[in-house]
Each structure stands twice: as structure tokens, then as C-alpha cells.
Amino acid sequence: MSSTVRRAGLAVVAATLALAGAVYGVTRSTAANAAVQLTAPQLVADMGAGWNLGNQLEANANGIPSETAWGNPVITQALIDRVKASGFKTIRIPISYLGKIGAGPNYTVDSAWLNRVQEVVNYAYNSGLYVLINMHGDGYKSVTGSWLICDASDQTTIKAKYQKVWQQVATKFASYNDHLIFESMNEEFDGQYGNPTQPCYSNIVAYNQIFVDTVRQTGGTNASRWLLIPGWNTNIEYTTGSYGFSLPTDAYRSSSIPSGEQRLMISVHYYDPWDFTGQEDGNITQWGAAATNSAKKSTWGQEDYMDLMLKKVYDTFVTKGYPFFVGEYGSIDKTSADSANNTYRANFAKALVATAKKYGGASAYWDNGYNGQYGFGLFNRSSNTVTQQGIISAIITAAGGTSPTTPPVSPSPSKTPGSPSPSPSKSSPGGTGTCRVVNAVNAWNTGLTNNITITNTGSTAINGWNLVFTLPAGQTITGGWSATYSPTSGTVTATNVSYNGTLAPGGSTTIGYQANHTGNAAAPTGFKLNGSTCS
């Protein structure tokens, strides 16, 4: 989405604010970093419901990236915990670099900015979520300092700069497992809506090739990591039709990837019909077959059109082994004009997620952090509370997950991975306490993943824990994250890692694993936390 639209309704502060807190890296456990290669259908199923951390790391003031420049507060672990507790399994994090890039020929990215990017990625990644990061805003002509301009004259310099920036980003994250996905760029086009122009589209195709080659050659998990590739303005018609898009070759990918499988995904966005989803007026407030007022409903862009467009992606790419990701979709709040608008916003979101899933794709709702008239927000980022439970429930349900019937409670106090543990008023080192466990199993024909959320329901903190549970017969753990697991079948003990060993009263952590199964994909049973039976 363009920078103008993504800031809709925000009181933009035209100054760069200092980042709060120390910048640091987080060490992830060996078990967490074990690469688990999923096929395209497995990946899409495992990604589940997605959400965008919009208007933050791509925000800028006068071309200098700053996460608070567009009116949102500093990103916290508590916010990501809330998003995860609401049922989301994937977070897309748009990122601008702009004035944080130094001069050529090295084009060095400011280390403090890159460390902050890593810190925010770790908030989600260390919680077992899928994370997508991209280059977002560096190609908008409307943004001061933009440079990734497909119809600019000096393409040699642009391509060299693009290659160097992605080389640094990919190197920074080379050890992260396949829960991290890179997207080459966002909504790249010449700034003129309408049919793609040449040679602009040819340059976009060239950027994508540079991206794939550069990331692969940095090694580590990057050699097999899933990479997300957009066409012209992430527009479905201009990506699937005969307008100049072509997929990059993947010559440097790891030899460990089976020859018949891909590691490239297609990036598209969906905001049709715009008069319902994004146009800031009260004229079109209803959508879909359930609309009750034809005068408030667009003349196009309903369920049949949505199905037609996503089927084009399926026919063009999914049938050839390339899954797709609807990296942005959503609709603005028009309840000021129609009190029933949120019902239709939820219907739109539910239909998009379900249709994408039907055709082999995953999706992420666009949230710009703004609540109220014309906002896209689902959460209040200052209080870390849910503002649109109806839309969230529709998304989670359509993706195949389970959404809380009431807004979930955030862990309190919040702990940032890698930071010192909070000092609770009462502490019982190695204590038992009482506990609650929630499983989230996603299964396919011979495998599954399970995210286990552990909550300390007692009145004292737990410092250091192990969780014992019994796997169903025929299940064997093949990889895990946020805990160590031993043995891999039968009765298993999961032990905390460095960053999640403290569970404050009411606090939670989520761990997870992937397992093979021989027909029984049920959740484990018999949970005991430090010897205490969990509900």
C-alpha cells in the first residue's frame, strides 16, 4: 500500500523520534534454529492467519526511517504477544531503509537501524511465529529519499545499491530458520496506476533476480529459505497476465531442496473494490452477498470477482508449485457512516482468507495502527488491546484456527526476549504453581506442527520450567523451537531456553515443534509443568 494510504487518519509527526531502549541481538536455541523444510502446501497451511505491523518500521520523517514517525508508539514484545494470543501465526513487517543507507560503493546500512529491525523480528520469531520482512517504501516516488525507482535513468547505481542492502540484511539473518521469509520489495511500479510500462517492468524483474541471487549466495538457511516475489504493484492482473512479469531463476539454491519443489512464493495484494476497502467517504460501506442496502454496495468486486482473481494466481503459479501470499488486504472503518460497516469488513476479510486458502495461498491483514474513522487497526498499540474482535475472529476462523471468544489477556509483566527478567513481587525459583496449556495443531497427510501456549495461572513466578506431555502413538518430533525436547516420541520433556524461563503470574510463553505421524495427528496429552498438572 502506498505511504499516503497507509498513514490515513494519523496525525503525522514530522520529526524523527529517538528509538527507546537499548538495541541488542537475541540468541535463539539450537533446536529453534533447526531448519525444517516444508513443501508449498505444508508451508501455506502452517502459516495460518497473518497480520501486518504496518506504519512502523517503514515509517519515516524526511526520508529517515523511524518507527514512531507516523504516530504509532514504539513496538514492544507485549504487542506481538497480544497479536499471537489473538490467533495470528504470521507477522509481516514492512521495512524502509532510505536515509539509513550510506554512500556507495558499499552502501552500508546503519548498524543501529539494522539491529532494531532484528530486535523487532525477534519479538515474533522467538515466539514461534512466521515472520516476513521486505524492502518497503524505498521505491515510492512520493517519499523523500526514495531511490528504488524502476524508471530512473541510472539503473546501474540503483541495482548495485539494492544488491548491497539485501546482502547485508540476508547476512544478518542467515542463521534464522524457515520461519523467516524475505520479500524482495513492496508495490514497486513507476508511480502511475494503469498498464505497466517498459522498460520499468523489465527493471522490476531484474531487481527480483538480483534479490534471489544475492540472498542465496549469503549461505546458511538463506540457500533454502522461502523467498517472496512481487510483480508490478503486487497487482494480480499485471502479475498473472502477459504484461512482462517473469519469475527469477533460482540457480544458487541449496542442493538439499528436492528438484521437484520450489522455494519461491508469489506476492500479491488485494483491495478490491477500492470504494469499499479504502476510499475515505461514507458512500460504499457494505460488501458481499449479505449486504442489505444496494445503494451502499459497490457495483463490482464482490465474492465472484475475488474468486476469479485468486484463481488466476492459482492457475498461473500454484499449479506449477509456487504458492502465493496476499501480503496486504483489508478495509477501512466506516462505522461513522454506517453502524453495520464492521460486519461487512469482517465478511470481506473472512472471504479473502478463505478464498486464498482454497487456491493455495496464505494472507496477512493490513493494519496501520490507526483505530477510528478510516482506520485499518485491529489492535490498540498503546494499550496492547483488541479493538476489532469481530474481524479478528473472522480471519482466524477462515484460516482454520481457533479465535478466543473474548480478547486474550497479555502476559504481565511483559518480558522482551534477551532482556533481564522482571522482578516480581513474589518469586518461587523452580516453583510449581498452577498452569494452563493450549495446543494449536496444524496437520497434513504425514506431518504436523503444534504451538503450545503455557500460562502460569498461579500467584507466584516460575523461574525455570519443564513441561512433560505424552505424544499420541505414531508421532515423532523432527524439530522444535523455543524449548528443547527429549526424547522425540512417547513421554516428552520440553525444557525452557534462555529467553523464556521466567513465567510471571498470569504470564505466558509459546513453544512448538514439528512432528511426523502415521495417521493420528491429535494433540499431546497429560501436561505437567514442573510436576503440576495443567488444565
The model's pLDDT over 80-106, given as tens digits with 9 standing for 90+, comes to 999 999 999 999 999 999 999 999 999
Give per-residue pLDDT as tens, 439-479. Answer: 878 676 677 778 898 989 988 999 999 999 999 999 999 87
Give dist(CA 205, CA 198) in Å, integer: 11
Calculate helix-pair angle for 155-172, 111-125, nearest 10 degrees: 50
**Which residue numbers are catalytic?**
187, 328
Q: What pLDDT, on the 0 to 100 scale, is given for residue 402?
A: 62
Q: Which three three-digit cell numbers place residue 374?
A: 478510516
The pTM (predicted TM-score) of the whole model is 0.74
Cβ(78)–Cβ(396) under 8 Å? no
Q: Output 503 or 118, whichever has higher pLDDT.
A: 118
Beta strands in 107-226 (DSSP E): 130-134, 180-183
- 477: β partners: 515
Q: What is the mean pLDDT of residues 327-351?
A: 98
Beta strands in 78-141 (DSSP E): 90-93, 130-134
Q: What pLDDT, on the 0 to 100 scale, is given for residue 145?
A: 95
Q: What pLDDT, on the 0 to 100 scale, is given for residue 509?
A: 84
Q: What is the mean pLDDT of residues 389-400?
A: 96
How far from chain centre, in Å, is Cα 210? 23
Q: HSE on the CB side for 484, CA within 13 Å?
A: 12
Give per-residue pLDDT as tens, 179-188. Answer: 999 999 999 9
